[in-house]
Structure 1
């Protein structure tokens, strides 16, 4: 048996204002996107903004449904739209933020497992790391790659 250790690197900011300009802009687009959330059941509005390789930003919000599995997370909504609009254009980064009762949550809201897997395949399709910016009322976290969130991703993607 061999015991191994896994470490991740990330950058933590005490305020959204400390973020570099491009990351702050992307996160602000995710914050704006929370207003498009349909979340009458959880009251948890999530916004995501995706930066494409051409600099365009595509944003979306979560959409709930009374049949809970039929809803869609903000991350997948934004990524699926981005890929349908620009099927061959790489994704550079995604920003994610959540709010409750109109206030950004005090803790970062990380992507669920399904969203992490979609992000992983997006990164594979893009051919380079996809940066993840996760905002909260108390600052932001920036991960340089999806692999930091899902190091053991299913990777049987068509080549």
Structure 2
């Protein structure tokens, strides 16, 4: 007997960064600032990520490309891995992510790629608490997702390895 289920989630869309709470605005501005440090000579697509920890520390990351494409690393993974290395055992609360291009104006917030979703999901699963996402393009609207699990339904975790 088969069963059909619907998997859905809610997002909040803010018209601009100005509508965010002050802490979230500050976090997104950290992501915007570090986006400028991205090493993106091939794609010209710059991404910045700022991670807010439970201890209120902020950890940043930007994408780092490589001529051998698989050797590069996205901003989200740079930031989350840096957070895990610098503050082991401290929960991640929120990740602000912003994207821009040297070639055109990015007008729609870019969500994390599949590899980044899985990497963030690992931390969310490990800490047993949601990791909130704030997504923004160069300017304009900001999308808030309640948890990475929302945008990675049926995610792979350590229970499959037991």
94-103 or 75-84, larger mean C-alpha shift = 94-103
**Cα distance change of structure 1 residues 126 and 102 upon mapping to structure 2, 3 Å threshold:** farther
Deviation, 1:133, is 0.4
Partner of 2:157: 155
Q: Deviations over 1:101-147 (max 9, x none)?
A: 29862011110101000110111122211100001222100011111
Deviation, 1:25, is 1.2
Q: How many residues align?
A: 159
Structure-2 separation of matches of 1:117 and 1:67: 22
1:13 aligns with 2:14: yes
Structure-2 separation of matches of 1:148 and 1:104: 27
3-state DSSP of counterpart to 2:121: helix
Deviation, 1:39, is 0.2
Q: Is the 8 A contact 2:39 2:46 kept in 1?
A: yes
Q: Report the RMSD for the aligned CA atoms in angstroms.
A: 1.7
Q: Gapped runs of 5+ residues in structure 1?
A: none
Structure-1 separation of matches of 2:116 and 2:9: 19
Partner of 1:120: 121
Deviation, 1:151, is 1.1
Structure-1 separation of matches of 2:35 and 2:104: 10
Match of 2:146 among 144, 147, 158: 144
Structure-2 separation of matches of 1:119 and 1:72: 14
Partner of 1:129: 130
What are the equivalent positions in structure 2 for 1:19-58 lying under 5 Å apart?
19-58=20-59
Deviation, 1:19, is 1.0
Q: Gapped runs of 5+ residues in structure 2?
A: none
Q: Is the 8 A contact 1:48 1:74 kept in 2?
A: yes
Deviation, 1:21, is 1.4
